[in-house]
Every structure is written in structure tokens, then in C-alpha cells.
Structure 1
Amino acid sequence: MNLSFRQLQIFEAVARRLSYTRAAEELHLSQPAVSMQVRQLEDEIGLPLFERLGKRVTLTEMGREVYQCSRSVNATLLDLEEVVAALKGVDRGQLSIAVASTVNYFAPRMLARFHQRFPGIDLRLDIANREQLMRLLEANSVDLVLMGQPPEGVELDAEVFLENPLVIIAPPDHPLAAAKQIPLTALTDEALLMREPGSGTRQALERHFTEQGLRVRQGMQITRNEAIKQGVRSGLGLSIVSLHTIELEIETGRLVVLDVEGFPLLRHWYVVYRRGKRLSPSARAFHDMLLAEAQSLASLNPLPALPGAA
């Protein structure tokens, strides 16, 4: 068979995302160009690799076999690129970072500092929820992931780079806004806007309530932090968010942090990658810079003061 590395690379992206559109966006190609490359690969193999069920794209049996092979080929090529980059140094290369939506409030500042120091490295930033981050780690399709508590039972290397306090927010006219030392039981009467199942902040809140023998009164489920903040401002309920995400809202008085007993819930952000993964020079440089300078960079934009703080 006369297969090209480019065809396998494009096929792997479509198979991993199960979407021609998202693969085209990832590869910076047009969707017709992606479809054409996949079609040529199918013609060369002589069997269909995908089948459509309505708008849904799924892999055929042959597609699953080719996907495993393409991942192996792409991993080998990536290793070769990393060896070449290592011999050339860190002046050139690529860096692909995926971050949890809460980390996105910090990550661009870190990437801006990295770009100032290494302007020759091409940067790519993906923002995803926890489930999507786990798929990216499983596929080994990004250099590094920045997220909350990594899952157990998965072969990962994870290191803390910054504290992540979780707080309860409310609109400034809420009856509890000015209260002190609010007992957690008071929140059982309040609807809490929640992220999707699997979200790190949601898991932390549910775990904390369970440990206290309490149940969460779940309000609307919302998948975006910005939408959650808008929902709280509009009076749809309270919510739990990372303190890093509400700097502007606290400064402008659009939201307040409630003084709830047991809060903030102190969590951490981690830099995560597959165990045994050989980091490219650019990924190693970012990893080391993150661990060394994240705290100092965060201190340039101090977090909002918490209720009761001196």
C-alpha cells in the first residue's frame, strides 16, 4: 500500500475527535481537504474507515485497526521530532498545552511570559473540561495538561504548581452576602448552580457536603464558568468557583464571596503528562518555568480578599 504519513496524521485526528470539523480546526486545514485525505486513504486500503449515523461519525472495524497503527506511527514521528529539537535546542519547536477551563484564567499569563523568553516556539492552547482532558492524556496528543486533582489509577506524572481556593459566590444583594461564619447547613436551602458531572469543582463541592452528612440542592447545570457567573448575578442560585476566576467580578462588585464555614476549599492545580513520556525541549522548558515561576506570576495579580481576612 502507498500510504503517506500526512494521510495517517489527518486520519488519526479525525478518529480521535470523531469529527471532521474539529480535526480540520486542530490541523489548520479546510474540512474538504481533511475529507479528501481520508477518502484517499480509504481508497488505498480498499475498505471504509468511518461510517455516519446521522450527524455522528464512528469508526468501522478496519478504522479501529488503522487508528491504533496511526497512533503508533505518529508517536514514533513525534519521538523523532523531539530528538531533532533536542539537538537544535529550545530556540525553535512547538508546544501544545491543554488546560481546564478554570486554569484558563491563569494560563495565558504564563504562556505570555514563556513566549517572551522563547519567541521561536509555536504555542497552542486548548481549553477543555475534565473529561476531554483525560481523553487528550490518554491519546498522548498534547505535551502537557494543566488541571485540578488528577484521577487515580491512571499512569500519569503530576506536580503541583499553584494553589486553587474554591469559594461560594453570590450576587451582592443576596440575604447571606453580609453574613459572617455562615454554617454549611444554610446552603442546603439554596439552589447551587453546578458544572457538568466529572467537573473538579463539582466533585469537590459534593465531596465536602457528603463528608458533613449533607445533600446539595442542585440548581441549573451549566458547563461554562462565565455562564455560571452570569447565572449567579442574575439570581438563579449560588455556586462554587475557583477564586482565580472572579477577580474582575469582585473588583467591580458584581459578585461577592460568602463567608461559609469550611471555605475556601483549598485545592491545587497540577501540571500533568503521561508517565514515561519524554518531554520535548520546549515542553520541558515550559514545565520547569511553570514550577519555578507560577507563584510569583500569580502574586502580580493578587487574588481577591476572602471574607474575614485581615
Structure 2
Amino acid sequence: MRLRNVTLHQLRLFRSLGTHLSYTRVAEELHLTQPAVSIQIKRLEESVGMPLVEQMGKRLFLTEAGRELFEACCDVLERLRVLNEDMIGMEAGVKGPLNLAAITTAKYFMPHLLGVFLRDYPDVEPRLTITNQARVLERLENNLDDLVIMGTLPENAGLEAQYFLDNPLVVVAPPDHPLVGQKNIPLARIAEERFLSREPGSGTRAARSRLFAEHGLSANIYMELGSSEAIKQAVMAGMGISVLSLHNLRLELESGLIAVLDVEHFPLVRQWYAVHLKGKKLSNTARRFLDFLLQDGARYWREVQPHLPTAPARRGNRKKTAGG
């Protein structure tokens, strides 16, 4: 591969093409016309001296040279981005972009922690993307964010994950449920109740299922719902009981709309992690935010959390838990 007269604009354009494999998507992302994109790719191929893309039917593929160049583009542009943010940080403290992504359940605590951080660093420009587990993993794989907040970690040796916050799961019921106020309710008794469950693939559902299975039990599933919000509404409507993260329940507990049952083996404590690709060089701003999460995140969050139930907490595996 011979690189002659390659510009940063061409590198940005080819990174976009390698990501989307679509001239149309590249044109939309970079605010160019599709012919302009095609011309720039042709010029880049002339500079390199070999084909970078090939068309098969309606699908576009990178050649072997194209894949190597795509990896180099990602590396060069990421290093330049970090350098630019570090220069800004050295010039005027912690400031500039901070791109974060988090799974849906994290929406209950990440805005609070980010707000505390921004009080100390008001010149930081945050962007917080809240989305589902599959999309978060996609963003992580494509290195679209400085940090990703998640719980259940994929089997991927190419990640660095640092635990920063517990995620206690509790059994919840409507406030007029006959089990409210009872102490150390047997797990077998809970298994008899109508259970409102998250959909398959949910980390909360997986943790509850493992605990029940360890004791030879299974939940009496009455209904499956696709979000914690839907489950809270169903619990408040008296349709059954469920297991939810205590992080989700602050307003409902304070207003008396939901009650936490005192059940043996609960709270079941899982963990939250700040994750990025291994070898990724964090910007000065991202590094400062990660340090804040690791050193102060749990303390600040405890200040706004409802009181934990008195039953001894049961901890999950720190390497494969939380979220969902």
C-alpha cells in the first residue's frame, strides 16, 4: 500500500464508508452529494494504488487493502480527536466533548451523576445516549463513545471494564399487598405469587432466574413486559409482584406507590461498569469523568437513594452482572 497525498478529509470519508458500507449513508453523514463521495473514494484509491472497495450486486464490501486502511483511519482519527481534546484540556482545564452511552436502566442514575460532575466542570459538553443493550454493544464495538455504562459484560477480551456502583435488586409489590410488612419472607413463598417479568435477554430477569434455580424454584410468570417502567405501572395496578433495581424506585417509594418486600436472599446486588475498548486512549475530560465515577460516584448516588431493605445483601459475580 502506497499512501501519496492522502488528506484528513479523505480519511474521515473512508472511515464513514467503512462503517456504513453505503455511499448514500456517507453522503448524509458528511453533508456531501453521493457523486462527490464517489469521486473522493476514486482519488483515494489512486493515491493508495489499489482498489479499496468492491461492489457485489447491491452490496458494498471493503477489499483487504480497504480493511487495513479503514483500521488505520479509525486509529489516526481517534488519536487526533484525543489530542485535540487533551490540548483543550491543557489550555483551559477539563472542557470540551464528553460522549457517553448507557443501557436503558442507567437512565435513573447517570443524569444525576453527570449533573454533579458538570457542576465542577461546567465547560464540558456532554452527550449521553440512552439505548438498549444491543445498540450499546454496537456503539461500543464501533468506538463511538468515550465510555459506555453497562452491567452484563459481553465475552470479549478486547474490553476494559471498571466497576463503580452497586445495583441492588429488590422484590416489589403494591403497597396494599398482604406480604408488605412481613419479615424475611421465604423465597418459596414469593415463587407462589403472580410474577411480572422482564423479557428474555434482560439482565434483571437472568439474575432473578439464576437465584430461583439455585433453590430449585421457578417464578410463576403471569406477564412479560418490555421495560422497567411498564413493570412499575403493572405492580402499582395490583397485577402482581416483580424484581426491579432499587435505582428505579426512588420516586415511587417516596410517594408510597410501591413497597419493597423483605425477602430472603434479597437485595440481590449486581454491579455497574464503565467500559471502553482495550487500548483506547481516553481524553483528559473522559479520564477525569471516569475518575469521578470510580472515586465519588457511589457516594453521591447514595445521598439521593431510598434506604436499602434490612435483609443482608447477596452479591452477584462482579465480572458478569448489573444493568438490564
Query: Do the two structures share a fold, i.e. TM-score over 0.5?
Result: yes
Aligned to 1:198: 201
Can you list the C-alpha shifts for 1:180-205, whole angstroms capped at 9, x where unaligned? Answer: 22211122223322223322211111
Deviation at 1:63, TM superposition (A): 6.7
Aligned to 1:84: 84
Aligned to 2:34: 39
1:258 equivalent to 2:261? Answer yes
Amino acid of the residue matched to residue 77 of structure 1? Answer: L
From 147, 151, 154, give the equivalent of 1:151.
Answer: 154
Aligned to 1:188: 191
- How far, CA to CA, are the matches of 1:81 and 1:246 in structure 2? 39
Q: Is the 8 A contact 1:85 1:281 kept in 2?
A: yes
Aligned to 2:59: 60
- How far, CA to CA, are the matches of 1:81 and 1:152 in structure 2? 28
Matches within 5 A, 1:207-246: 207-246=210-249
Can you list the C-alpha shifts for 1:212-266, whole angstroms capped at 9, x where unaligned? Answer: 1112333333222212211211233222111111011011111011111111101
Aligned to 1:170: 173
Q: Is the 8 A contact 2:167 2:245 kept in 1?
A: yes
Q: 1:236 to 1:132 in 2, by over 3 A?
A: farther
Q: Is the 8 A contact 2:54 2:60 kept in 1?
A: no
- How far, CA to CA, are the matches of 1:15 and 1:243 in structure 2? 42
Matches within 5 A, 1:298-309: 298-306=301-309
Q: Is the 8 A contact 1:42 1:49 kept in 2?
A: no
SS at match of 1:102: helix
Q: 1:227 to 1:68 in 2, by over 3 A?
A: farther
Amino acid of the residue matched to residue 261 of structure 2? Answer: L
Alignment TM-score, normalising by the size of structure 2: 0.77
Q: 1:233 to 1:84 in 2, by over 3 A?
A: same
Deviation at 1:42, TM superposition (A): 6.4
Deviation at 1:292, TM superposition (A): 1.2
Q: Is the 8 A contact 2:54 2:63 kept in 1?
A: no
Aligned to 1:26: none
- Unaligned 5+ segments in structure 2 are 1-5, 43-52, 313-324
Q: Is the 8 A contact 2:264 2:311 kept in 1?
A: no
Question: Relative to structure 2, which stretch is displaced further, 277-286 or 195-204?
Answer: 195-204
- How far, CA to CA, are the matches of 2:272 and 2:164 in structure 1? 6
- How far, CA to CA, are the matches of 2:259 and 2:146 in structure 1? 37
Aligned to 2:50: none
Matches within 5 A, 1:90-169: 90-169=93-172
Q: 1:205 to 1:34 in 2, by over 3 A?
A: same
- How far, CA to CA, are the matches of 2:105 and 2:117 in structure 1? 20
Question: Relative to structure 2, which stretch is displaced further, 238-247 or 34-43?
Answer: 34-43
What is the identity percentage for the equivalent residue pairs of Structure 1 and Structure 2?
36
Can you list the C-alpha shifts for 1:12-42, whole angstroms capped at 9, x where unaligned? Answer: 66569xx97xx9xxxxxxxx94497473466
Q: 1:308 to 1:138 in 2, by over 3 A?
A: closer
Amino acid of the residue matched to residue 59 of structure 2? Answer: T
- How far, CA to CA, are the matches of 2:29 and 2:166 in structure 1? 41
Q: Is the 8 A contact 2:174 2:258 kept in 1?
A: yes
Give the structure with higher Rg (CA). Answer: 2
Q: Is the 8 A contact 1:99 1:147 kept in 2?
A: yes
- How far, CA to CA, are the matches of 2:94 and 2:67 in structure 1? 33
Deviation at 1:281, TM superposition (A): 0.9
Amino acid of the residue matched to residue 103 of structure 1? Answer: A
Aligned CA RMSD, in angstroms, stands at 3.3
1:282 equivalent to 2:277? Answer no
- How far, CA to CA, are the matches of 1:135 and 1:172 in structure 2? 40
Q: How many residues align?
A: 290
Deviation at 1:64, TM superposition (A): 9.1
